[in-house]
């Protein structure tokens, strides 16, 4: 399988954005602490009040510490997402042959619906992948997702990816049709870490675990009249280099 990197993933972009902020704030924390510790012993008039100055330093540091903690939690979340995207890519590379081309983090021109995590082009047509790092056990009923709380108790999961991927399919279909390309587009939601216990009723979208993804792709029907030149034509139209 050939892989084309269209742009950095949102997770990668956020990691690159968060890391410098953490280092800057840590630097400010160290500076405040050092000044609070050193100044009373450098300026004799302040020496009797060194403990007050240290308390003030701790008081001023606290909001910065809380900010760093929040940024670290966000960083772990985005690292988790990036690992999931890399895992799906690895699974596809090990399963699919050179008849398939995989484009990462593609953005449909002139739209504001975010990037498509993965765009797979091959004899099965075009597959849109929405990769989610949701953890837990899920039941799918129609267009709704329910996450297991305990026992047989499931709660409606608000982070539903179906609406997003349906919109991506709609916009991609429209964009390709305007360019004279009529190829079947199949949307698939991939739960990297989550487990799907049951699917009830039609969802209009495939949803699968990461390791089951290749099987779903293999089960898709071949596109009649598919030619080796068509993927390159689609890539040119998509504006991918």
Helices and strands (H and E) in the chain: how many: 5, 10
User: CA gyration radius for the chain?
Assistant: 25
pLDDT for the residue 39: 67
Between helix 50-95 and helix 10-42 the angle, nearest 10°, is 160
pLDDT for the residue 51: 63
Task: Collect all residues with Cβ–Cβ distance below 8 Å to 214 and sequence separation of at least 6.
Answer: 91, 92, 95, 96
pTM of the model: 0.81
Enumerate the H helices of 43-180 as residue ranges. 50-95, 162-178
pLDDT for the residue 42: 67
Task: Collect all residues with Cβ–Cβ distance below 8 Å to 139 and sequence separation of at least 6.
Answer: 145, 146, 148, 154, 196, 197, 198, 199, 200
- State how far the Cα of 95 lies from the Cα of 89, in Å rounded to an integer: 10
pLDDT for the residue 45: 66
**CB burial readout 143-167, b (16+ within 10 A) else e:** eebbbbeeeeebeebeeebbebbbe
Structure-token pair, residue 62: 């606290």
- State how far the Cα of 49 lies from the Cα of 36, in Å rounded to an integer: 11
**CB burial readout 211-233, b (16+ within 10 A) else e:** eebeebbeebeeeeeeeeebbee
- State how far the Cα of 146 lies from the Cα of 184, in Å rounded to an integer: 29
- State how far the Cα of 142 lies from the Cα of 22, in Å rounded to an integer: 42
**CA 126 and chain centroid, separation:** 20
Residue whose C-alpha is closest to residue 183's, from 229, 240, 130? 229
Residue whose C-alpha is closest to residue 164's, from 194, 127, 189, 181? 189
pLDDT for the residue 40: 67
Q: Which residue bears the tokens 């990462």?
A: 104
- State how far the Cα of 216 lies from the Cα of 191, in Å rounded to an integer: 13
Mean pLDDT by 10 residues, the chain (241 residues): 86 88 89 73 67 74 88 87 90 93 92 88 95 89 88 88 91 94 93 87 84 92 89 91 70
**CA neighbours closer than 13 Å in the CB half-sphere of residue 114:** 15
């Amino acid at each position: 399988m050939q892989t084309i990197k269209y742009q950095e993933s949102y997770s990668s972009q956020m990691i690159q954005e968060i890391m410098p902020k953490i280092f800057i704030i840590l630097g400010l924390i160290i500076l405040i602490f050092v000044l609070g510790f050193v100044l009373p012993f450098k300026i004799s008039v302040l020496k009797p009040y060194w403990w007050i100055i240290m308390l003030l330093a701790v008081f001023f540091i606290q909001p910065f510490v809380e900010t760093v903690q929040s940024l670290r939690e966000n960083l772990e979340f985005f690292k988790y997402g990036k690992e999931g995207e890399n895992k799906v890519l690895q699974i596809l590379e090990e399963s699919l042959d050179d008849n398939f081309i995989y484009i990462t983090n593609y953005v449909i021109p002139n739209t504001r619906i975010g990037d498509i995590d993965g765009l797979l082009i091959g004899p099965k047509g075009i597959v849109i992948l929405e990769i989610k790092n949701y953890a837990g056990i899920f039941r799918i009923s129609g267009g709704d997702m329910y996450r297991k709380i305990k026992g047989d108790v499931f709660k409606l999961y608000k982070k539903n990816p179906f609406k997003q991927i349906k919109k991506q399919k709609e916009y991609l279909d429209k964009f390709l049709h305007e360019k004279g390309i009529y190829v079947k587009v199949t949307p698939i939601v991939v739960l990297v870490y989550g487990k799907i216990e049951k699917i009830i009723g039609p969802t209009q979208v495939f949803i699968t675990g990461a390791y089951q993804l290749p099987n779903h792709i293999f089960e898709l029907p071949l596109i009649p009249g598919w030619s080796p030149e068509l993927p390159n034509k689609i890539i040119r139209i998509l504006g991918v280099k």
